[in-house]
Structure formats: structure tokens, C-alpha cells
A and B are shown apart, each in its own frame.
Chain A
């Protein structure tokens, strides 16, 4: 079974803090994704990566950056957390073709105070 894990289920941070969200997958997937999910807005793509050290902006990259130093790990970084970044963050991974499904992690619920 594909397993996608996220480092934390719940996080509480203060405005201005630097926040790291970690995602690890164990199926040697080329593609990894970060989404945020908000009520009424659904899931929106923040960043994705096709390979190690590669990154592409999604629909809402502002205020975020990512890092992919190893194939199995994709990190989302909030350089200076703001209250409007309070959300559920979901990581996903998939094989390298467009026809493959994405496998999701359990999510990290982030609260920025």
C-alpha cells in the first residue's frame, strides 16, 4: 500500500513564525504536491514537484515556499506565518504520468494565532 505521511496532525503557531510542514512518501513517486483546503473553497494547489530539486508554482503560491532535497520528502515552508494561512494542509504524491491517481496524506491542521 502507498503510504504518505505528514509530520504533524495539528500545529499551533504564532504570527510571524517560520513553519515547516513535512511530507514523506514510501512508493518512489516522482510527483509530490501540497494543497490547502478551506471551507467553501475546496482544495487548492500551492506547489508541486516533478523531481528532486524541482518545484512548480500552483494556484496560490504566495507566502509559501517548498523544498525537495530527496525524492521521498517534500517540505512546505511558511516563511512568516499569517492568520490567513490557518488551514488544513494536504500532501499528495503520484507516479510520473498524468493518468495516475494522487495518494494523499492525513493532513495537517494549522492554526496561526
Chain B
């Protein structure tokens, strides 16, 4: 069964800093890897989806990379802002369109 791990569980950075969030998965036979954002008490918003044949995806200040062979993905956030404060979840899609989620990294950007 796919297991997804996110380290660290929480991260605090000063505004303007670049940062990297890490995600690892045990089964490399994935269809895609997604990064989501979740604000407190809210649902999930999809940020980036990387197909298994791709190495990275970019959206604005966000860049996600995927290395299937090593079972790792990273989410890079450039020039962080207080509005980036949220929990970031990664999820690997395997089998019958099932998402396996990590437990998330709670990011706080300090003004």
C-alpha cells in the first residue's frame, strides 16, 4: 500500500524567504503527484499536478518537481508571503484513481 510522508510537519519562515516542502512516497508506480493547499477549517485547493511522465510543473511562485525513481517530490515557494500561510498536502495517485495523502506541512510566513 502506498505511504506518503511529508517532512517537516510544521515550518515557520520570515516573509520574502524561499522555501522547499518535501514529500516522499513508497510506491513509485504512480499516475501523478498533486500538491494541495488547505486553509484552516476549509477544503483542499489543488495547486499543481505533475503527471508521472513529467519532472516538474510551475504556477506563478510555485514550482513542484517529481523524481519517481527516488520516490520524492518537492514544492518550492519563491518569495514567500503571509498569504502563503496554510497547510500544504501532497498526494500520490495510484490504482483506481485513488489519492494517498501525506499528513501535510503547516507553513507559517511571518510578516
Contact = CB atoms under 8 A, between A and B. Distances in A.
A61 interface: no
A43 B101 contact: yes
B34 A48 contact: no
Contacts of A98: 31-32, 93, 96-97
Nearest to B53: A99
Contacts, number: 55
B102 A42 contact: yes
Interface in B74-92: 89, 91
Interface string B25-48: 000000110101000011111100
Interface residues of A, number: 25
Interface of A: 4, 31, 33, 40-45, 48, 56, 58, 90, 92, 94, 98-99, 101-107, 109
**Secondary structure at chain A's binding surface: helix, strand, loop or mixed?**
strand
Interface residues of B, number: 24
A87 B46 CA distance: 22
A104 B98 contact: no
Contacts of B41: 107, 109
A4 B43 CA distance: 10
A51 to B, nearest CB: 12
A105 B43 contact: yes
